[in-house]
Each structure stands twice: as structure tokens, then as C-alpha cells.
């Protein structure tokens, strides 16, 4: 693994007994001795600490917040200008065909936009912003780690370090003092649980992580459980559930595009692929991302072809994420289906080891979201 990059927490992961695997160019912990299943259940019951420092942290700064927001709105079909101070929002970069180049989080931090992007896409995302945004500076923050503290105990744990943590609502951002250092904190995450993401100076990240882990309710959680948590939460994994071939409407992400950017809105369009995206927002798309519950116990994973019936020769769709959901207690999946077969309750068939096995189209999330709104 000598060619892989290390996050600031690498030594701590090794010390904690993590199994390290290559992920997006980094050596990352896929699991700790607790194991994926228990790590998942622990996060939903108490709190899990995740190292997500491989993700890209970017500051987009203009003459004002509004200037930076308006610049970003030329690449992202989301209301960034209208995002309140100290508030955060989900979004994505789109391409000229209306596909998605990456999904991301955007925060209004007063005089700049703080952007968090996926690790595998961050170099391309930064180049994309630098090439296409005028009048702003795009700066990758490389001297800060990113931790996620997720689960019902997260508030109690973090508020013990800085009581202001308890005052934040879902999707608020704030600057907190944790373990004696300034941290940029959002009340969000990617597990379907309440929790926080914490950008901390890399030099202090291990000390902060150890302080959080010292709480009896907090356990370190690897990428394996992160994946099953986000899948149960119905959340898309870029490069799997969404990519350059999927549009916001096919991906069932219409909710992320506010009215002000849609046809008839004050700042309608003006982003790559607007013609396609606005037309689909108004008229729908022919395929749709849906939740799928295999009717048996066998997990049905990414890449499995979906069929309308037990005998049809032509696949109608594909599973894009799937596996065992520890909280659900059975297999869960998501994938794409023709819109006319995408209603909840519809039975479709996945081909697994030569057999057609039934799945039911089901609403997501598969586990209730526990956000503090």
C-alpha cells in the first residue's frame, strides 16, 4: 500500500486494529475488530466515528458569499444564493447531457461557500470549478481532516466538548472549539442518523478522534458499515447509484432542485444540461431510481439484472447498490427501473446465480431517518 495516500488518522486506524483497504487512492479502514455488522448496529444504537478525510474540502470565495454562490449556480442546479447563513444543502455538478459529475454538500459559511466532494471525483471537481468559475477563487483545503460522528448519541458526545453542538439543527453549520481547536462543523452526515461532520486541523485530528472515542458510546466505524448505513438510508453512492449517465430526475433527486432554479423560477436554468433537466423535472423521465426489497434472504448486489417477470429475455433495469441491511435484518437494494414499473409494491425479478428471484419496489429510506430538524 506504499503508493496509497494516508489520512491524518492513518496511524490511529492501525492502532485500533482496522483492516485497511485501498479506496479512491487512500488507505482507508474498511472495518475494525468489531466487524461490519456490529459497527453498523452500534452506529444506529449509539454513535460511530468515521474518518472521511479522503473527501475533498474546498473553499469557493468571491467578493461576497452571493458572488461565490452565483458563480457555483452556473455549475450546480441548486439554490445556493438563497441558502441561509450557516446552513448547508445537498447538490451535484451536472454535465451538458444532464448527467451528474459528482454529488456534494454546500455550506454558507458567511463570506464563502464551503464545498465537500467525493474523494474519487475531487481532482476533477476542483479542475472543473477552476476552469469554469470566473471571479472566484477555488481552494482545496489539504491541511484539515474530516470526521463524521453519527448516531443518536452524537449530540450528547459532541456537546460535552462544545455545548453549541446541541443548539445546531439538521443541516446547520457552525464553528466550534473541539479539543482546543477551531472546527468547522455541520449537523449532517451520510448514514440516515443524526450526527455531525467535523473539519478539524489535520495536526489535531488524532487527538480529537481519541477524545471522541474515549466516550463509552462511541466506536470507530469503517467504510463497510458506512456503505450499509447509507444504503439503508436510501442515499446514493456516486459512481454506483448516480453517475454521468443518470440525471437528477431519473435518480429521484428532484427534491434537491429548488423551485427558483426550475422553469418559471427567478434563476431558472443556467447550469449544464438545463434543457434536459428542466424538461424532466416538468414531464418526468422514462427510468427511475427505486428502493428494492428482495423477497427472499439472499442479498442481491450491484450489477444484478432486473426483469419484469420470471421468463422475459430482456432486462428492464439493474441493481446499482445492494447488500444485507443489518438494521432491516435482511437484504436491501436500490436500482433503476422503467418509470411504469417503479411504483411501490411492484414485483420485479433479479437474476442471481441463474435463478430469477422476486424483489418488491419499496419506499426509501429502509430505516427511518433520525434527523434533528
Partner 1 sequence: MKYTQEHEWLRAEGDIIVVGITEHATTQLGDIVFVELPETGTTVAKDDEVVVIESVKAASDIMAPIDGEIVEVNEALGDNPSLVNEDALGAGWFFKIKPSDPSQLDGYMDEAAYNSLIS
Tell me the Ramachandran region of residue 180: left when phi exceeds 0, alpha when psi lies from -120 to 50, beta otherwise.
Answer: left
Residues sharing a CB contact under 8 Å with residue 106, sequence separation 6 or more, in sequence order:
72, 76, 78, 80, 83, 88, 89, 90, 91, 113, 114, 115
Using the contact rule CB under 8 A, the part of the chain among 2-10, 51-59, 144-152, 295-303 near partner 1 is 295-303
Contact call for residue 323 and partner 1 (CB under 8 A): yes
Contact call for residue 305 and partner 1 (CB under 8 A): no
Looking at 32-143, which runs of residues are DSSP E strands? 47-51, 56-61, 88-94, 100-108, 112-117, 137-140
**Which residue from 298, 341, 362, 369 is in contact with partner 1, where contact means CB under 8 A?**
298
Using the contact rule CB under 8 A, the part of the chain among 29-37, 76-84, 111-119, 184-192 near partner 1 is 29-37
Do 147 and 210 touch, CB atoms closer than 8 A?
Answer: no
Contact call for residue 353 and partner 1 (CB under 8 A): yes
Torsion angle, alpha carbons of 359, 362, 367, 373, to 10: 160
Total residues at interface with partner 1 (CB under 8 A): 16
Query: What nine digits make up the cell of 252?
Result: 429521484
Shortest distance in whole angstroms from residue 61 CB to partner 1:
42
Contact call for residue 32 and partner 1 (CB under 8 A): no
Looking at 46-136, which runs of residues are DSSP E strands? 47-51, 56-61, 88-94, 100-108, 112-117
Do 293 and 331 touch, CB atoms closer than 8 A?
Answer: yes
Residue with smaller CB distance to partner 1, 56 or 331: 331
**Which residue from 4, 24, 37, 260 is in contact with partner 1, where contact means CB under 8 A?**
37
Contact call for residue 118 and partner 1 (CB under 8 A): no
**Which residue from 25, 35, 269, 315 is in contact with partner 1, where contact means CB under 8 A?**
35
197 is in an annotated binding site: yes
Binding site for partner 1 (CB under 8 A): 31, 35-38, 224, 228, 297-299, 301, 323-324, 326, 331, 353
The annotated binding site for substrate is made up of: 197
Amino acid at each position: 500500500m506504499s503508493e496509497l495516500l494516508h489520512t491524518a488518522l492513518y496511524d490511529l486506524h492501525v492502532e485500533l486494529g482496522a483492516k485497511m483497504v485501498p479506496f479512491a487512492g487512500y488507505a482507508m479502514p474498511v472495518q475494525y475488530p468489531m466487524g461490519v455488522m456490529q459497527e453498523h448496529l452500534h452506529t444506529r444504537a449509539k454513535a460511530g466515528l468515521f474518518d472521511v478525510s479522503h473527501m475533498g474540502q474546498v473553499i469557493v470565495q468571491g467578493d461576497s458569499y452571493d458572488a461565490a454562490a452565483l458563480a457555483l449556480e452556473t455549475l450546480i442546479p441548486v439554490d445556493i444564493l438563497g441558502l441561509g447563513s450557516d446552513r448547508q444543502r445537498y447538490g451535484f455538478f451536472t454535465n451538458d447531457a444532464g448527467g451528474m459529475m459528482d454529488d456534494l454538500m454546500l455550506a454558507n459559511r458567511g463570506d464563502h461557500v464551503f464545498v465537500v466532494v467525493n474523494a474519487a471525483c475531487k481532482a476533477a471537481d476542483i479542475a472543473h470549478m477552476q476552469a469554469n468559475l470566473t471571479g472566484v477563487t477555488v481552494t482545496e483545503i489539504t491541511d484539515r481532516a474530516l470526521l463524521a460522528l453519527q448516531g443518536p448519541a452524537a449530540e450528547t458526545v459532541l456537546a460535552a466538548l462544545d455545548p453549541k453542538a446541541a443548539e445546531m439543527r439538521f443541516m446547520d453549520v457552525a464553528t466550534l472549539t473541539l479539543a482546543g481547536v477551531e472546527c468547522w462543523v455541520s449537523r449532517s452526515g451520510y448514514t440516515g442518523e443524526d450526527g455531525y461532520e467535523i473539519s478539524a486541523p489535520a495536526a489535531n485530528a488524532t487527538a480529537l478522534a481519541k477524545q471522541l472515542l474515549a466516550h463509552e458510546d462511541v466506536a470507530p466505524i469503517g467504510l463497510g458499515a458506512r456503505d450499509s448505513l447509507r444504503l439503508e438510508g436510501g442515499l446514493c453512492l456516486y459512481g454506483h447509484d448516480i453517475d454521468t449517465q443518470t440525471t437528477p430526475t431519473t435518480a429521484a433527486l428532484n427534491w434537491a432542485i429548488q423551485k427558483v432554479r426550475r422553469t418559471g423560477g427567478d434563476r431558472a436554468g443556467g447550469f449544464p444540461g438545463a434543457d434536459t433537466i428542466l424538461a424532466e423535472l416538468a414531464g418526468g423521465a422514462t427510468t427511475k431510481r427505486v428502493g428494492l426489497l428482495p423477497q427472499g434472504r439472499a442479498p442481491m448486489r450491484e450489477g444484478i439484472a432486473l426483469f419484469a417477470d420470471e421468463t422475459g429475455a430482456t432486462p428492464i433495469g439493474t441493481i446499482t447498490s445492494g447488500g444485507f441491511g443489518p438494521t432491516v435484518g435482511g437484504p436491501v437494494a436500490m436500482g433503476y427501473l422503467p418509470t411504469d414499473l417503479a411504483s411501490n409494491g411492484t414485483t420485479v425479478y433479479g437474476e442471481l446465480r441463474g435463478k430469477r428471484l422476486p424483489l418488491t419496489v419499496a419506499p426509501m429510506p429502509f430505516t427511518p431517518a433520525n434527523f434533528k430538524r
